[in-house]
Amino acid sequence: MSWKTLDDLDLAGKVVLTRVDINVPVQDGRVSDDTRITRIVPTVRDILAKGGKPVLVAHFDRPKGKVVPEMTLRVTLPALEAALGQPVTFAREDFKPAVAAMMPGEVMLLENIRFFPGEEQNDPAFAQDLADLADVYCNDAFSAAHRAHASTEGVAHLLPSCAGRLMEAELRALDAALGQPARPVVAIVGGAKVSTKLELLSHLTRKVDMLVIGGGMANTFLAAQGHDVGRSLCEHDLADTARAILAEASAAGCEIILPSDVIAATEFAAGAEHATVAADAVPGDRMILDAGPDTIARIITAFEGAKTLIWNGPLGAFEITPFDHATLTTARAAGRLTQDGRLVSVAGGGDTVAALNQAQVTDQFTYISTAGGAFLEWMEGKTLPGVAALEQGN
């Protein structure tokens, strides 16, 4: 890969402007999930170990270039200090003298960078102001890398730049999954609607060997093939698009796996009356809420014959029992194969991470991305400005 890491730069005595993502959920004035905070700890500790002074730059919520007191990053300080095991200095404004006064071993967090209009505008003058604070730039926020903002893209052109440990791990995992994967590659794309993942589906037909389509979007494909899907969630107006994607896959030699049997229920509710039926025999008064046992077996067989798995989106209405069965069963199979060294498994997306947590397999997968939009855009084959800026180097 053409980007540098923390191992490639001399950080001794240098201020390291470190872009992180600590945009964490907060309830009653306290961080309720510190996952994103704990994931930046290796980068901060390595910068300190190399004699650098980490100045953390991050956003919180969407203040849109204005100071919104309820969106101050100060709320993250207790969780950040607990994760790092040391005090963290908070710079609310007038960053330059605060950074200049930093002592060796100190960590500083700057106020919400999106309070400044120049951030989201990627204003060159604001990017220069940020660059003037430091000697080195480190981007450890892959989840913000799809944004061409001053702190993710602009400043990378103005300082010697590198990827932090989390960014490095993410990029290596993604390269192993789609860049230079071991084949065969199987991808799962699930979720509610085809319309939100058109580019993704089209791109994957040219990149993977097998594509499993699940969740509500599978209903659109079944309907496009002429099957009655009853009262299921379905985008009937996208039938032509679905058929075009199937044709693209056929031309590219990509096998599409759609449900051959489904769980059809009377309503979208826990414990609703339900039955397993063939995908082409769904009663008109029922709705498809999960894949059936034959489909689950086909998916697991695909896993067993694959070397690489990419997963984005659940296979059914996993939030409600018993319509979580296909998602949880296949996730556990993927986890076992990964643990046995037979599969490289990379997953990402909010619903996907929630489903894998529910299946209790997140520690079994090769890599779980919490990057959301950036992960999806990477899967779509798009250039991520924050990554491209690191690759161009300084």
What are the structural domains of the chain? Answer: 6-165 (3.40.50.1260), 172-379 (3.40.50.1260)
Q: For the chain, how far is it from start to end, CA to CA, in angstroms?
A: 15
Distance of alpha carbon 284 from alpha carbon 266, whole angstroms: 10
Where would I find the beta strands (DSSP E) of 149-239?
161-163, 185-189, 210-213
Three-state DSSP at 33 gives coil
Residue-level pLDDT at 93: 86
Distance of alpha carbon 150 from alpha carbon 133, whole angstroms: 13
Nearest to 187 by CA among 233, 252, 238: 252
Question: Which CA distances in Å does 220 have to 223, 244, 279, 284, 299?
Answer: 5, 12, 12, 15, 19
Residue-level pLDDT at 393: 60
Q: What is the pLDDT of residues 264-283, one digit of tens each?
A: 999 999 989 999 999 999 99
Residue-level pLDDT at 176: 85
Tell me the β-bridge partners of 56: 18, 109
Q: Is the pTM of this model over 0.85?
A: yes
Question: Which CA distances in Å does 278 have to 70, 258, 263?
Answer: 52, 12, 9
User: Does residue 19 contact residue 151 with C-beta atoms inside 8 Å?
Assistant: yes
Q: What is the pLDDT of residues 151-160, one digit of tens each?
A: 999 999 999 9
Low-confidence residues in the chain, pLDDT < 50: none
Mind telling me the catalytic residues?
36, 193, 350, 373
Residue-level pLDDT at 2: 79
DSSP H or E stretch at residue 265? strand 261-265
Question: 157 φ, ψ to 5°?
Answer: -85, -10
